[in-house]
Chain A
Amino acid sequence: MSQTSVTGTSGEERDDFSRAESRQIRSRSLRLLGSLLEPLRARLVVGIVVIIVSTAAQVAGPALIAFGIDRGLPSLMKNDWMPLALAGAAYLATGVIGAALVAWFTVLSARISQAVLLDLRRRVFLQTQRLSLEFHESYTSGRIISRQTSDLDSIRELLDSGINNLVQGALYMVFVGLALLLVDPLSAAVLLVSLVPLAILTRWFQLRSQRVFRQTRTASANVIVKFVETMTGIRAVKAFRTETRNEGDFGELVEDYRQVNARVIRLFGIYNPGLVLIGNVTVAVVLLVGGLRVFEGQLAVGALLAVVLYTRRFFDPMEDMAMFYNSYQSAAAALEKISGVLEEQPSVPDPAAPIDLWTSKGHVRFSDVEFAYAGDRVILPTFDLDIPAGQTVALVGSTGAGKSTLAKLVSRFYDPSTGEVSLDGIDLRSLHPKDLRRAIVMVTQEAYLFSGTVADNIAIGKPDASFDEITAAARAVGAHEFIEGLPNGYETDVNKRGGRVSAGQRQLISFARAFLADPAVLILDEATASLDIPSERLVQNALQTLLADRTAIIIAHRLSTVAIADRVLVMEHGRIVEDGTPADLIAGTGRFAALHASWRESLA
């Protein structure tokens, strides 16, 4: 694809990036993060103000206690309640304000993180739909699914608790440090010294955990892929008794995952007690430095208490911040991969200046078209083909002859490497996608049903269709009868992957879909393979009326389908080797004539 090996999704499985590559990936994720936060600027500002005020309010506590003991007590001895009442009232006020603001901030930050997630979910989903089939065929569904599920989950975790922990923790430490500086600068100096081992420990932890976190993501993805594969192929699993073998394989993947998890946890098992140790030693030193001065009469007792309380509190959020680092690491790895997917350019891009085509006549034309997969061998060598509006063309040839590729060029699942495919004289690449999809519809052999009712599934052809239109479409393709026989008729839920609807019935539903869509050009790629003969006959009859006023390209292995064509194209090794009316070709001595003869034989 591109020269740099880390652009887009390439290099996703590597963990040996060079410095330049790492920088490239990191800046890509940061750009993504920035663009996600951009629209939330106003909320972010409010959030930051709220958190600054609330943290300051929380930090005031020990200073007020010191004030109450050192100033309130002596004043009270002189029957002056004022300083103590002030300290008590201030403590109460900071408590109420602090708590209320923290509660507010909790909701606010949830709003922000949920907005980011929704935006990101939308973007990845949209991008998944936008990327061409070529991408999907090489990237595989399991990976794109884990981008949208487990990777998004780790970003959610970061946003949910991680950011709160970081902002609150960092601010808390800054404020505690400042308060300490105000109460007793010498203790603040001690605290400053303690930052040195703290920084060393944290850096060590960072370096060690970085690689392990990447491994965690890979290991969990492996578990997910195996799991999904087993569940979607459960019939074959059972029929071939692979349960035990699968258990072994899955067990190994789970064990790998467990081990990397354990490694992460072990790192925390060192880091976290290390933090506590540094904190407690610092408390002792502060106590010594302060205690000696109290002993000498240079420091008030209340101030000593405040200093000790502050020092202890200073280290409290460190653990939260380590948690942040935990979620940050996995989220960063996830973000790297997601930003890679988002960076992918669809090989079939939407036009910059789309041309509208309100009503299409259905005139399809290939001019000097050649097709090859990116940098790979040529599938379709240069050819020209003109399909006048209204013509029904049958594509015939053995597997791998290039029939489906040709069909995919017309439906713009792929773009030609050179030359152009046009509809009514407009290059498909500059046609407005909406108009393109309205004008050209392709029905494939694999008739996928989405969860929802049968009616929902037919309505995919025309989302605003009335119920009457839906039943009319079903009737036209002969699907009405079996649908009526389902437990809830058109409102029957088709369940997981149409589990209870037979393959033939699925194809009928997908036919009804295409019928409802009413396109100017209809492409049928082996769309009748699973139908029983009476159904096929119904579809065939329906096709004869359906195709009367539109262009059709039909790929079929069956002679019956070819019979209704105006024109037959025989393909071989990517080339069109015969082109003519069925009658002419049968009368001749070419491949089609031979093929036709063997078909007739097979019908006996």
Chain B
Amino acid sequence: MSTPPPPSTLASLGRLYRYAKPAMPRIYVAIVASLLASLVALAIPQVLQWLIDGPLTGTDVSLVWFSVGLVLALGVAEAGLIALRRWLVLTPGTHVEAHMRNSLYRQLQRLPVAFHDRWPSGQLLSRAIGDLNLIRRWMAFGFVILIVNSLTLVIGFVILVSLNWILGMIFVVASVPVLIYGYAFEKRYSRAARRGQDQQGDLATAVEESVHGIRVLKAFGRGSHALKRFETQAEELQGTELEKARAVAGIWLWLLLVPDVAFAVALVVGVWLAQSGSSSVGELVAFFATGTVLLFPIQSMGYFLAMTIDAKTATNRFFEVMDEVNTIVDPISPKTIEKPQGRLVFSDAHFRYQDSPSRFPDLLDGIDLVIEPGETMALVGLTGSGKTTLTALPTRLYDVTGGSVSLDGVDVRDLALDELRAHIAMAFEDATLFSATVRENVLLGRPDATEADLEEALDIAQAQFAFDLPNGLDTRVGEEGLSLSGGQRQRLALARAVAARPSVLVLDDPLSALDVTTEQLVEAALRRVLASTTALIVAHRPSTVSLADRVALMQDGRITAVGTHSELIASNAHYRFVISSLDNQTQAQPAHTENVS
């Protein structure tokens, strides 16, 4: 979230054109309709002048009827044109909004995990909902009215000056301070608007955390602590909102004051002119009636200016996400793997976060590892040694920053993402289930699987409990459905990875939340799958390691040893330190009393 110099309001809003393009013809027609409506409204005072200076002082009463009829006709026309404007613009406006919302969602789904690590979801949400709403309203309403108001004002001023140039000039001169103040207002309000929208996003993040972390807050009785933090943020937002209100009050003051002063001066000067004979009463009436028609465009200027600035800020925030360059994309000419074997090779793979300080070594510091087709490789190491990061490389959740990862001899970056991720399935330690049925959740990676495949996958993951849920496999789980225990979620996530029938399985400590009995059952079943599938499994327990053909030991972002469990136990002190069980701890030196089988 770096901050380059803020683009001008026009340049920012101009970028919306790409999305608004299909709606533009209608917007143009709407502007014309709206302008006509304003002209019709401005014509009414002209009729009044003619009426007062002509028929009312004359003798023909039918002319009075005629001019009233004219006013009525103009009034009906104005209403019709306003209706036309609304019907033209507002529905296409919703299409533009929906299109932008879908584009944002699409972009966010495509952006790499590293992006999501950086951006709290509250900030993304406030862009997808609040900001886009604002943009739609501005485009369909604010933009049209702003243009029409400006044109109406110009035309109105011309009419005022042509009615009587002395009186007209009073209005023109009086507008100068409004323009100057308007410029200052734009700066002041822009700053506050941007700050306000960001603070809004922060507040949303605070709310999310207080809900997702409710167990911790409750366990430590820190609700009031969290409240204090939340209150501070809410008060900061309040301060910004008041700053905005003061800015709006400032421009309001000018926008109300200036026409009134001009009216007062024009009244005295106008009556004096009428007395001296250089103006007629009808002219005065027309002048003030025209001035009244212009009152709304002048006074609403503040509102529409503020709305325009809000829309600009919202647009900038939208494009902050849309401009983000996606680094993990499909290659231009993707290769394809004809017969997937599942040979996974890391060659001098490096990884570091872009923003990590240079004094720190790479998180993955030259990984060389070959996993042969059908082989199961356990990944063992201390917490923080880089195991989880390593598991994210084959599916390109992160891209290597040096070296390469290849599948069946093809660099993973040369494969289309869809193909790559069809070959490799993952199960994460924190099992995510979506608001969908159990069936849909398990078949996420292979929606066309048969019922038998589904049942087999549930079997292997020891997730038979799913059949006993209220609606069986059609029970909705996840955020909007039944909440399951950590162990249950983990088993469904494992079933999901298995059901995808990948050529490579990547499992990040997939059994951590299971009790010992269940774990043993899962392991027994998993062995069948692993016999034919290449697998990379992060393991913390000797029991999980026992699933593997070989073990790779990770230490500070490097692989320091590869071998079978027994080999490593016998030869590697660090491995013994990492994996040897606590339960034999009473024997202080784990090395020689360990029961190695």
Contacts and interface: CB of A to CB of B under 8 A. Distances in A.
Do A and B share a complex? Answer: yes
A461 interface: yes
Interface in A124-144: 125-126, 128-130, 133, 136-138, 140-142, 144
**Which 7 pairs from chain A and chain B are nearest by CB?**
A437-B221, A95-B260, A280-B75, A110-B245, A504-B383, A129-B223, A273-B83
Interface centre among A251, A283, A559, A603 (most CB of B within 10 A): A603
B121 A228 contact: yes
A482 interface: yes
Nearest to A499: B117
Interface string B517-560: 11110000000000000000000111100100000000000000
Interface residues of A, number: 183
B288 A106 contact: no
B208 A121 contact: no
Interface stretch (A39-47, A259-267, A353-361): A259-267
Contacts of A444: 215-216, 219
Contacts of B108: 230-231
Interface string B216-249: 1111111111110011001100100110111011
B249 A107 contact: yes
A229 B212 CA distance: 13
7 contacts: A88-B264, A230-B108, A234-B113, A482-B383, A513-B220, A533-B580, A604-B596
Contacts of A308: 48, 289
Given A87-B267, A460-B220, A295 B72 contact: no
A537 B226 CA distance: 33
A265 B109 contact: no
A145 B208 contact: yes
A540 B582 contact: yes
B135 to A, nearest CB: 13
Contact of B75 (A72, A283, A513): A283
Contact of A258 (B82, B95, B274, B356): B95
Interface centre among B44, B65, B584 (most CB of A within 10 A): B44
Q: Is the interface of A mostly helix, strand, loop or mixed?
A: helix
A532 B540 contact: yes
A126 B392 CA distance: 39
Contacts of A110: 241-242, 244-246, 249
B250 interface: yes
A482 B284 CA distance: 83
B227 A598 contact: no
A277 to B, nearest CB: 4
Contacts of A104: 249
A261 B94 contact: yes
Interface string B288-306: 1100110010000000000
Interface stretch (B18-26, B312-320, B339-347, B426-434): B426-434
B124 to A, nearest CB: 6
Interface stretch (A169-177, A240-248, A371-379): A240-248
A167 interface: no
B383 A531 contact: yes
B540 A530 contact: yes
Contacts of B512: 503, 529-530
A505 B384 contact: yes
A125 B405 CA distance: 47
B383 A508 contact: yes
B281 A241 contact: no
Interface string A483-508: 00101000000011101101111001
Interface in B262-294: 263-265, 267-268, 270-272, 274-275, 281, 284-285, 288-289, 292-293
A227 interface: yes
B421 interface: yes
Contacts, number: 520
Nearest to A275: B79
Interface in B489-537: 493, 496, 500, 509, 512-520
Given A236-B444, A309-B288, A133 B215 contact: yes
A489 B559 CA distance: 25
A398 B445 contact: no
A109 B512 CA distance: 55
Given A241-B445, A451-B120, A533-B582, A602 B542 contact: yes
Given A103-B256, A140-B480, A288-B68, 5 more contacts: A69-B271, A235-B392, A281-B72, A295-B64, A305-B285
B479 A495 contact: no
Interface string B40-62: 00001000100110011000010
A96 B242 contact: no
Interface in A207-227: 220, 223-227
Given A241-B418, A295-B56, A84 B271 contact: yes
Contacts of A204: none
A437 B220 CA distance: 6
A92 B256 CA distance: 11
A159 B512 CA distance: 50
Interface centre among A148, A288, A436, A450 (most CB of B within 10 A): A450
Interface residues of B, number: 182
A193 interface: no
Contacts of B583: 559-560, 563, 599-600, 603
Nearest to B51: A291
A284 B75 contact: yes
Interface centre among B212, B220, B513, B546 (most CB of A within 10 A): B220
A448 B515 contact: no
A292 B61 contact: yes
Contact of A276 (B51, B79, B245): B79
B486 interface: yes
A556 B22 CA distance: 61
B36 interface: no
Contacts of B204: 145, 149
A104 B248 CA distance: 11
Interface string A394-409: 0001111000100000
B445 A223 contact: no
Interface stretch (A18-26, A60-68, A383-391, A419-427): A60-68
A76 interface: yes
Interface in A442-496: 442-451, 460-461, 463, 482, 485, 487, 495-496
Contacts of B471: none
Interface stretch (A111-119, A178-186, A194-202): A111-119
Interface string A267-294: 0111011101101110110011001101
Contacts of A250: 102, 105
Interface in A546-581: 557-560, 563
B383 A505 contact: yes
Contact of B125 (A99, A149, A604): A149
A63 B464 CA distance: 83
B595 interface: yes
Given A233-B432, A532-B382, A126 B515 contact: no
A102 B252 contact: yes
B513 to A, nearest CB: 6
A95 B79 CA distance: 30
A603 to B, nearest CB: 5
Contacts of A291: 51, 55-56, 64, 67-68
Interface string B117-159: 1111110111011100000000010000000000000000000
A231 B289 contact: no
Nearest to A461: B220
Contact of A448 (B101, B215, B264): B215
A495 B355 CA distance: 13
A526 B126 CA distance: 36
Contacts of A603: 542-543, 581, 583-584, 595
Interface in A528-542: 529-537, 540
A230 B48 contact: no
B485 interface: yes
A316 interface: yes
B168 interface: no
Nearest to B116: A234
A510 interface: yes
